[in-house]
Structure 1
Amino acid sequence: MDIATVVGVLAGFALIIGAILSGGSLKIFVNVPSLLIVVGGMLCSVLIHFSLGQFLAIFAVIKNAFFHKAHSPVILIQQMVNFAAINRRDGALALEQEMRKVDDPFLVKGLQALVDGQEEDDIRALMGMETEYMQARHGDGKKILEFMGASAPAFGMVGTLIGLVQMLQNMSSPDDIGQGMATALLTTFYGALLANLVFIPMAGKLGQYSKSETLAMEMITEGVCAIVRGDSPTVVREKMQAFVSASKRADVKVTI
């Protein structure tokens, strides 16, 4: 679980609720019609803009913003250095034993291609295609959240217009004027809150996750290809250290 995302969302809502309670009752900020206009309208627009499959994947996309298993570049480099040492000492077939200890499907696929004796160009093409499709999937999820972040305030404005029309048509009744104004203002509030505290930040977080995962997959690709070429563990380490900052490079050791 990404602690920063959880803390950010909870702290943001706590801050808003605290500000409301400091000046009055939370009850006056609860308006079901306003919420239906914003949330319902936003979901309908998503359903129109995207396919049914993409719409049904909304919850999975939001889940990915909270739960993400990050790869450690230093650990990845150390793994590839160790695999290079095993390959040089015992041959490619010895890596089959090591594959059982790996829980990354992408790394397993690369090692399996290596063990099968595929050429470097074929391995690079295979793993490059996998990376591109991963980026496309993540890009679709990010686009959904960005669209939700854009449509929520728009439907907040729609609710505001509805509330103003209701208010202007009932100027003779003070109660109806108050209800119309509540709908008008609260829909704008709901739309702005959901967009700027939930959907847009989550889209940005998914973008960061995608960059991190792309980097990890590129590191794995380069490491596997270096092993295929028969590079020594030291050479593999030196090449892959280009992916990390200088302060972390000393953590990677060559073990043969």
Structure 2
Amino acid sequence: MNIAYLIGLVVAIIVMVLGMANGFPPYEFEKLGNFVDGSSVMIVIGCSIAIVLASFPLKTFLSIPKHFAVMLKNPKQKPETIIDALVDLAQIARKDGLLALEEKAGEQEDPFFKQAIMLIVDANDPDRVRATLENDIECMSDRHNAAAALYDKASAVSPAFGMVGTLIGLINMLKNMDPTSGSSNIGAEMSVALITTLYGCILAHMIFGPVANNLRIRDSEEVLNKMIIVEGITCIQAGENPKMLREKLLTFVAQKQREKLANSAGGSGEA
């Protein structure tokens, strides 16, 4: 579970609500009603959703629940488990040959890992193996970036429609101004006009922006895992020593994690 996102979102909402309710005790929660306006909700949220829908294929828009599922869940694979699996495959390949890896391919839950193993089992050219896998990674990353771009677009248009709502409110305020009463109602009417700008900023910076950032983080994590697989598979095909393979693959992870994995491998006594 993506705890950081949930904590950040909840804390931001709580702090904003308390700020609206006077900031410090005693809180005046009745003030929250000042920030509710049906017309502003329709203009900002309704128009933002409509423009995002008009800007992307329907398939991408309908995948929004999937995007949130990906963002909130932890990655299925971690670099260290992939490295251990590749080293095990390298040991099997050195003892029994590449054909012995076919059974291991069937045990893989990750389709990309399974495809990578089968490419070397089928004795494909090493350059072709690498090119095929790297093309798969590039296409996957393009799909992920398209999903993140949806939230970038929403983050851009929601403040714009917040300003549109403010302009609409100001126009209505000026049209309805009574010359005989002067400016007695300007304060109340101006506050309503500004609520749409508030809604636009909240949507952009509390909802859409963090989602786009988290999706890109998930993409970078998945790309890293797949690049480790590509490098490991091509080294196995070349007959590289399992110990040297581990050393090479450890360069993909952070130094502290690298030392931990190296120590655990040393204790396992692998050949």
- Whether these two folds match at TM > 0.5 is yes
CA contact (8 A) 1:70 1:213 kept: no
Q: How far has the Cα of 1:140 moved from its partner? A: 0.3
Deviates further, 165-174 or 189-198: 165-174
Is it true that 1:232 corresponds to 2:241 in the alignment?
Answer: yes
| TM-score, with structure 2 as normaliser | 0.87
Counterpart of 1:149 (choices 149, 155, 170) is 155
Is it true that 1:189 corresponds to 2:198 in the alignment?
Answer: yes
Q: How far has the Cα of 1:162 moved from its partner? A: 0.7
| 1:159 alignment counterpart | 165
Q: What amino acid is the match of 2:7?
A: V
Rounded to whole Å, the distance in 1 between the matches of 2:87 and 2:69 is 34
Structure 1 residue runs of 5 or longer lacking an equivalent are: none
Deviations 1:168-204 (A, max 9, x none): 1112288975664343111111110110111112211
Structure 2 residue runs of 5 or longer lacking an equivalent are: 22-26
- Secondary structure of the structure 1 residue equivalent to 2:75: coil
Deviations 1:111-137 (A, max 9, x none): 121222222111111111110111100
| 2:210 alignment counterpart | 201
CA contact (8 A) 1:145 1:199 kept: yes
| 1:255 alignment counterpart | 270
CA contact (8 A) 1:138 1:207 kept: yes
RCO higher in structure (CA 8 A, sep ≥6): 1
Counterpart of 1:89 (choices 91, 95, 112) is 95
CA contact (8 A) 2:87 2:242 kept: yes
Q: How far has the Cα of 1:61 moved from its partner? A: 2.6
Deviations 1:134-165 (A, max 9, x none): 11001101111111001110000001001111
Residue correspondence of structure 1 range 1-256 to structure 2 within 5 A = 1-21=1-21, 22-25=27-30, 26-69=32-75, 71-172=77-178, 180-250=189-259, 251-252=261-262, 253=265, 255-256=270-271
Identical-residue share of aligned pairs (%): 35
Q: How far has the Cα of 1:94 moved from its partner? A: 2.4
Deviates further, 219-228 or 54-63: 54-63
Q: What amino acid is the match of 1:19?
A: G
| TM-score, with structure 1 as normaliser | 0.91
Q: What amino acid is the match of 2:190?
A: M
Q: What amino acid is the match of 1:255?
A: E
CA contact (8 A) 1:157 1:188 kept: yes
User: Against the structure 1 CA distance between its residues 44 and 180, is the aligned structure 2 distance closer, same or farther, given a 3 Å change threshold?
Assistant: farther
CA contact (8 A) 1:41 1:155 kept: yes
CA contact (8 A) 1:167 1:178 kept: no
CA contact (8 A) 1:135 1:214 kept: yes
Q: How far has the Cα of 1:71 moved from its partner? A: 3.3
Q: What amino acid is the match of 1:17?
A: V
CA RMSD in angstroms, aligned pairs only: 2.1
Rounded to whole Å, the distance in 2 between the matches of 1:78 and 1:160 is 57
Structure with greater Cα Rg = 2
CA contact (8 A) 1:166 1:177 kept: no
CA contact (8 A) 1:119 1:228 kept: no
Rounded to whole Å, the distance in 1 between the matches of 2:18 and 2:106 is 51
Q: What amino acid is the match of 1:233?
A: P
